[in-house]
Structure 1
């Protein structure tokens, strides 16, 4: 037995369908926004991790170079090379941080 809907029921049903469609569309947009935001955050975190690794290498190179100098195991040329390597690593970290 089929009943026909009244005008008010049809209008209510149409409103519910519009709400469902709007909710589905909103959910898709929110999912896309979340995905973009997550990707950006992951990219920035990876960039920062790389910067930290470069700075740690720079620091270790500096400390090793200066420790060797104190033990008189380096001459001026090797000291200069070690410190230059350390400076280059620090500059690379700075560049990477600016790009992130």
Structure 2
């Protein structure tokens, strides 16, 4: 046999139901926020990794140009091309960072 609930018990049950519903909605919203934040952070990390890769390529071109400059048979046209390549790569990395 079930005893009917009192008015106070019904009010308390209604409060508990609202609280459970609010918690479920909050959990869904937090889950969505976490997913969006994780995606944004991953995109930023990917952008930074790409920039580092470009900067490494730029440094490699600069070092090759400087190495060529120190060798006896340097070709200044080639050195200029290598340094221009290095500068283009640095500018590409800078632009990528601005977009991130």
TM-score band by shorter chain is over 0.9
The match for 1:52 is 52
The match for 1:84 is 84
Q: How does 1:12-51 map to 2 (within 5 A)?
A: 12-51=12-51
**1:94 correspondence with 2:90:** no
The aligned length equals 100
Deviations 1:11-43 (A, max 9, x none): 000000000000000011011111111111111
4+ residue segments displaced more than 2 Å:
none
The match for 1:63 is 63
Identify unmatched segments of 5+ residues in structure 1.
none
Q: Counterparts of 1:30 and 1:36 in 2: how far apart (Å)?
A: 10
- The alpha-carbon deviation at position 6 of structure 1 amounts to 0.7
Identify unmatched segments of 5+ residues in structure 2.
none
- The alpha-carbon deviation at position 74 of structure 1 amounts to 3.2
**Larger relative contact order (Cα-Cα within 8 Å, sequence gap ≥ 6):** 1
Deviations 1:25-77 (A, max 9, x none): 00110111111111111111111111111111101110011101211343121
The match for 2:4 is 4
Q: Counterparts of 2:41 and 2:18 in 1: how far apart (Å)?
A: 34
